[in-house]
Amino acid sequence: MYNKNYTNEKKTITIWHPNGEKYFSYLQNYYNINFVNIYFFRKIFNYHKFTNEKKFIKPFFLSDFNIICLPPFDLNIIFFLIGKILKPKACLILHTSDFVHDKGYIFKFFISKYIYQSIINKLFKFIIYPNKLQLDHLNQIYKPKKLYIPHHINPCFYNNKFIKKDIDILFVGEKSYKKGYDRFIKITNLLNLKSYAIGKSNLKVELNNNCINIENIDQIKLSQYLSRSKYLILPSRRFNNWEELFSQITIESISSGVIVLSTNHIGPVFLKNYYNLPIYLFKDDDDFVLNVVNFINKNKIFIHFYDLSDFKIGSLIHKWEKIFK
């Protein structure tokens, strides 16, 4: 276990992410962490509601480090550029999961990608990617030091041994079109197997009698469902320049002895090829449902447990320590 008392004085770090606690909560045992879950221009456009301006502006100027989680060409870069001008010694770290950096969002209508890349080069000291393929792809585009730090596995998933694999297929995540929830529904309708779907829903679809629908559970409960499952279905579809760029549930499932059946997105492809993990990939097309059904009908699963030490908190803290020294 990594010694969390390696430093006499904890650094103060602000993480700018709409769901920062999910991905960075493990840092709280080692550093003073502030989570800011909205951005300046999202407030203007009423994407999020909040009332206390101090919770938004003060953390930037009082932090030793600011970890800014932005997609490429996001208009909010202006706020952090202004902040850097007002506090020139501020250490800004860009954390991005986005693989496509020659297409963007609102910002591309105001300046070219080359000017934006120049701003990134001036503004940030480090760029952190959770997918190592991004390092290879973008190594010549940006000048700041680039590091690969993957997402973590919650300790409740460590050595998550099973008693009985009584859940045949499992879906975990947002029940949306982008996440392919409709595909999962079709798979459950074609297979006479015990199925569970875990996550919040924004689609009004009917589940068959074999599928149990669960809205909200904690990580410990999720680990218990994973330990009972044979297959995790990851049916996400490419949508508006988005695709699965890591998929934290994938490594949590594999650490629990679950076979992952996924569309061939960047994240699952990287995890399969780089770590040689039991992820079976299928084309993200209209045949995905039938291909998965045929695979499950024709194949017997062989459970293997993987150490996945690269994703454990001790290993990740060691990587962050090199940045926050």
Backbone angles phi, psi at 261, to 5 degrees: -110, 115
Q: Radius of gyration over alpha carbons of the chain, in Å?
A: 21
pLDDT on residue 112: 65
- The domain that holds 237 is classified in CATH as 3.40.50.2000
* Average pLDDT of the residues in 74-86: 85
Backbone angles phi, psi at 134, to 5 degrees: -65, -35
pLDDT digits (tens, 9 = 90+) for 43-62: 544 444 444 445 667 889 99
| Res 5 pLDDT > 60 | no
Residue 123 shares a structural domain with residue 172: no
- Region of poorest pLDDT, from 42-51, 114-123, 138-147: 42-51
CB count within 10 Å of CB 99 equals 20
Question: Cα separations (Å) of 215 from 70, 225, 260, 298?
Answer: 28, 13, 21, 31
pLDDT tier for residue 252 given thresholds of 50, 70 and 90: very high
Per cent of the chain over pLDDT 70 is: 80
Does residue 274 fall inside a structural domain? yes
* Average pLDDT of the residues in 259-276: 93
Does residue 6 fall inside a structural domain? no
Does residue 24 fall inside a structural domain? yes
pTM: 0.84
pLDDT on residue 137: 65
Residue 278 shares a structural domain with residue 202: yes
| Res 234 pLDDT > 50 | yes
* Domain count for the chain: 2
Residue 166 shares a structural domain with residue 270: yes
| Res 87 pLDDT > 70 | yes
pLDDT digits (tens, 9 = 90+) for 174-197: 999 999 999 999 999 999 899 999
Question: Cα separations (Å) of 291 from 50, 185, 298?
Answer: 45, 14, 11
pLDDT digits (tens, 9 = 90+) for 198-226: 998 876 655 555 788 898 899 889 999 99
pLDDT on residue 7: 45
Does residue 79 fall inside a structural domain? yes
| Res 317 pLDDT > 60 | yes
Does residue 4 fall inside a structural domain? no
Residue 274 shares a structural domain with residue 320: no
pLDDT on residue 205: 59
Residue 137 shares a structural domain with residue 186: no
What type of residue sits at position 277? L
Residue 102 shares a structural domain with residue 232: no
Residue 111 shares a structural domain with residue 226: no
Does residue 197 fall inside a structural domain? yes
CA 238, 244, 249, 251 torsion: positive or negative?
positive
| Res 103 pLDDT > 70 | no
- The domain that holds 49 is classified in CATH as 3.40.50.2300
Residue 239 shares a structural domain with residue 143: no
Residue 64 shares a structural domain with residue 185: no
Residue 127 shares a structural domain with residue 192: no
Which residue range is the domain that position 43 belongs to?
A: 12-152+311-324
CA separation for the pair 305, 293 (Å, rounded): 24
Residue 119 shares a structural domain with residue 172: no
Question: Cα separations (Å) of 224 from 194, 231, 232, 254, 257?
Answer: 16, 14, 14, 13, 12
Does residue 305 fall inside a structural domain? no
Does residue 306 fall inside a structural domain? no
Residue 229 shares a structural domain with residue 107: no
